[in-house]
Amino acid sequence: MKALRSVLSTAVLLSLSTVAFAQSGAAPVAPSDAEKSFDTLKTLTGNWEGPVSVNPPQADMDMSKPVHVSLRVTSRGNALVHEMQEAGTPLDSKKYDHPVTMLYMDNGQLTLVHYCDAGNRPRMTAKASPDGKTVEFEFRDLSGGNDYGHMYHAVFTVVDANHHTEDWTYMMPGDKAMHAHMDLQRAN
């Protein structure tokens, strides 16, 4: 009987807290610029493909093949997963590059963490453009080694529902910047 009373008490408390939360009476708060930017990026959910150009050109990189980018919302809408690979290649981490980037809100700031094939994790924070279609990420800090360089800057520009561009800047050893531009069309 004591166990039943405990279970019932817990259920009643959980129900009351849910009702109290739902009826807090607080006026809805307008989303911040960071939240608006995150919502804009979430509209890119899906598969994308398109050409990549690199500046300065790299002799050891084949830019004739398009890139494939997959974006998906996860964690009840609290994170956006961005995966990139050469189009048409299998997910084989020993043979092909396949960096993963996580985008999420952190204390009111839109944050990007790039899990790089170079073995490090640069963290960047966002600022939105006045038109709301461009989200620019600036370097904040780096976890992991920097022997091979690190991702330093990223810009996402929504052209329309089926077209967006991504610009990524990689800081190579010796602080030499390499810029990659991807012109992506929705693939699904």
Distance, in Å, from the CA atom of 114 to the CA atom of 142, rounded to the nearest integer, reads 10
Distance, in Å, from the CA atom of 51 to the CA atom of 44, rounded to the nearest integer, reads 17
170 CA to centre of own chain: 16
Placement of tokens 């279609």 in the chain: 133
- What is the pLDDT, as a whole number, of residue 3? 52
Structure tokens at 84: 């990139």
Q: Which residues of 101-139 are buried (b: 16+ CB within 10 A; e: fewer)?
A: bbbbbeeeebbbbbbbebebbbbbbbebeeeeebbbbeb
Is 36 exposed, middle or buried (CB count within 10 Å of its CB: 0-12, 13-18, 19+)?
Answer: middle
What string of pLDDT tens digits covers the 188 residues of the chain? 555 454 444 444 444 444 444 455 677 888 899 999 999 999 999 999 999 999 988 767 777 789 999 999 999 999 999 999 988 887 777 767 889 999 999 999 999 999 999 999 999 999 978 788 999 999 999 999 999 999 999 999 999 999 999 999 999 999 999 999 999 999 97
Beta-bridge partners for 64: none
Query: In the chain, what are the domains?
Result: 32-186 (2.40.128.20)
pLDDT digits (tens, 9 = 90+) for 42-96: 999 999 999 999 998 876 777 778 999 999 999 999 999 999 998 888 777 776 7
pTM value > 0.95: no
